[in-house]
Amino acid sequence: MATKLTITISEDLSRRAKARAALEGTSLSAVVRRQLEEFAAGLDLMEEAEDIRAVLEIEARIARGEERVYDWEEVDAELDALPDKN
């Protein structure tokens, strides 16, 4: 489903965007949509980079002994020890 978006931009930006659309033989909407898609893709890359940075930070803390690592048996035993709330 498409969503209609209304924005306010300067006359200069509007003129340049319309000129680009004309040069490409496409609509102003198509030019703006493509640029928004590229912008959103960049946000996805930034989010992935932040995730990678967080993982590397945690791995470094583990390597320095600042972060405890649990094996499955420890986690399972702790879960079994919890009181049943059913």
Q: What is the pLDDT of residues 5-30, one digit of tens each?
A: 899 999 999 999 999 999 999 999 99
- The band of 86, judged by pLDDT with boundaries at 50, 70 and 90, is low
CB atoms within 10 A of CB 56: 10
* CA 64/CA 56 separation, integer angstroms: 12
Q: What are the residues whose beta carbons fall under 8 Å from the beta carbon of 31, sequence distance 6 or more?
A: 17, 20, 21, 24
Instruction: 66-72: list long-range contacts, CB under 8 Å, 24+ apart.
Output: none
Is the pTM of the predicted complex or chain greater than 0.85? no
